Chain A
Amino acid sequence: MAMATPGEDQDGFPCALTINVPFPSARLASVAHRALGVDKELSALVQRQLSTTTPTPAEKDETVLRIEYKATTNRMLRVAVNSFMESLALVLEVMAELDVDVLEQQQQQQQDRT
């Protein structure tokens, strides 16, 4: 779920976008947060903040990864967000296919066959 806020000049970065990515568990949201948070934004014209948060105020588990972008132009914002999405897709694929439980299940299936 993304929200774009146009207009209002906030210290020179008028183009902003907030992306909330839901994860099945707080563990996975945290893994994504830590893996994607290491690399700094390449351009000084873009600022990015990563955090984890709860899907609704009532819930306790922080299963949502929140990414807040601020950029000088819409073009910079689009380029930065597109690039992030590609990295996020990779992280999700690794989680889906190479997590401990998935690999264990596959090994079990292999063993059962032999």
Chain B
Amino acid sequence: MWIAGYEKNVAYPNPDGVIGRRDSMHTQEQGQQAAARTRRKLVEAIRRIALGCEGSANKLGIGVIAHEDGGEAVVLSNVRHTFVSPPGTGFLPKDTARHHRAFFVRVAKQALADARVSVADVDCVCYTRGPGMGGPLSSVAIAARTLALLWGKELVGVNHCVGHIEMGRAITGAENPVVLYVSGGNTQVIAYAEQRYRIFGEALDIAVGNCLDRFARTLEISNDPAPGYNIEQLAKKGGRVLLDLPYTVKGMDCSFSGILARADELAALMKAGGVGPDGEPITPADLCFSLQETIFAMLVEITERAMAHVGSKQVLIVGGVGCNERLQEMMGGMAAERGGSVYATDERFCIDNGIMIAHAGLLAYETGFRTPLEDSTCTQRFRTDEVFVKWRR
């Protein structure tokens, strides 16, 4: 998933998921030796452990994380199962909720087995409170509540966006970056200030990932493993021609529904045998390439605006769309021009997962935050800046 030419500007996660500050690239062997030393230390050190359950969209993720006394966070397990709908369709709430209910026990058992922890070791059960789709969120919350009650543990409700941000920070070690959070459900430019993750700019209508997912439906591209991934692969075959799409940046914000409408029109034109500006027939690769170039340039612009505003040189990209190598490349180019760097994680952590919920939840738990059972509901709308980030200065 990594682009060799941008090593200077892109930070890599540690190979086996052990999170720590990275100043230089280890060799594989050095990395393994370091991981073995950490594991030995952990056995003796006091640590807190959390189980995290995520299900706000079509990914069901359950993970177990440990926080060592010295502050280091270790991924003990990270298991995910994705609900993939047939090409030409999207995932509907009822079917997605059914999927999560059907797979919860299986995924939870795998996560506990991989982590090799017992119920006694676990300090709290974390779950995604929101934002996201109502039915899927609730189905996971019910299971999380049941676990908490059976095991006699406390619950921690976590904001999905904060989960992404905290996991990105932990994995990459970025100090105080501008965060670009881009996924199927969310598009926000975020910067931390005085114990809140402040939203500097966002999508005004639909998320950038939603634009990609819905366009994939128009082209009837497979949703396996993810529609955005398949658009990316198709786009790599494009580049011969850049089709004209609206470019809709509005100050710090951006908008994607108009671009989607125009892209759908061009797709219809293509099916009718239409030609591009160079007289050649339009291909799906041309459409995917043009769409990506346009929307990613917009994201780079609003991120750069936030960086200038805040005076930051670091960008952290989180969320499923953050896996896209072209987006990382374009962002890397912009950051390099400003003498800065881009941080991103691989698909274990940028696609929705349970470990980010466990990590953010445990951070909150360690400051004394609890979600009483009666309040352990879910909500479809949950702004990133609603969370009081007590664990940071």
Contact = CB atoms under 8 A, between A and B. Distances in A.
A67 to B, nearest CB: 14
B119 A91 contact: no
> Top 7 closest A-B pairs, CB basis?
A35-B145, A31-B149, A94-B146, A35-B146, A90-B101, A97-B105, A99-B150
Given A98-B112, A100-B150, 20 more contacts: A32-B146, A35-B149, A36-B142, A38-B145, A38-B377, A39-B141, A39-B142, A86-B98, A90-B104, A90-B143, A90-B146, A91-B142, A94-B146, A94-B150, A95-B146, A95-B150, A97-B105, A97-B109, A100-B151, A103-B112
A89 interface: yes
Contacts of B119: 100, 103-104
Nearest to A110: B113
Interface residues of B, number: 24
Contacts of A38: 141, 145, 373-374, 376-377
8 contacts: A31-B150, A35-B146, A38-B141, A38-B373, A38-B377, A87-B139, A99-B150, A103-B118
A94 B16 CA distance: 30
A60 B201 CA distance: 60
B187 interface: no
Interface string A78-114: 0000000011011101110111100110010000000
Contacts of B145: 34-35, 38
Contact of A98 (B108, B376, B377): B108
B147 interface: yes
The winner among B101, B149, B373 for most chain A CB atoms within 10 A is: B149
Contacts of A95: 146, 150
Nearest to A94: B146
A60 to B, nearest CB: 22
B138 interface: yes
Contacts of A99: 150
A95 B147 CA distance: 8
B149 A98 contact: no
Nearest to B106: A97
Contacts of B151: 100
Contact of A94 (B105, B118, B374): B105
Contacts of B374: 38
A104 B119 CA distance: 8
B112 to A, nearest CB: 7
A99 B374 CA distance: 21
Interface of B: 98, 101, 104-105, 108-109, 112, 118-119, 138-139, 141-143, 145-147, 149-151, 373-374, 376-377
A91 B138 contact: no
A90 to B, nearest CB: 5
B150 A90 contact: no
Interface in A1-60: 31-32, 34-36, 38-39
A54 B260 CA distance: 58
Which of B104, B105, B146, B147 has the most C-beta atoms of chain A within 10 angstroms of its own C-beta?
A: B146
Contacts of A89: 101
A19 B108 CA distance: 29
The interface centre, meaning the residue of A35, A86, A87, A103 with most chain B CB atoms within 10 A of its CB, is A35
A95 B108 CA distance: 12
Contacts of B147: 94, 98
A94 B139 contact: no
A93 B104 CA distance: 9
A111 to B, nearest CB: 11
Contacts of A94: 104-105, 108, 143, 146-147, 150
A86 B150 contact: no
Contact of B118 (A90, A93, A104): A104
Given A86-B98, A97-B109, A103-B112, A39 B146 contact: no
Nearest to B374: A38
Contacts of A104: 118-119
Nearest to B138: A39
Nearest to A32: B146
B142 A98 contact: no
A90 B143 CA distance: 7
B373 A98 contact: no
A39 B145 CA distance: 11
Contacts of A31: 146, 149-150
A98 B98 contact: no
A97 B141 CA distance: 17
A99 B118 CA distance: 11
Scoring B108, B139, B145, B377 by chain A CB atoms within 10 A of each residue's CB, the highest score goes to B145
A104 B138 CA distance: 28
Nearest to A107: B118
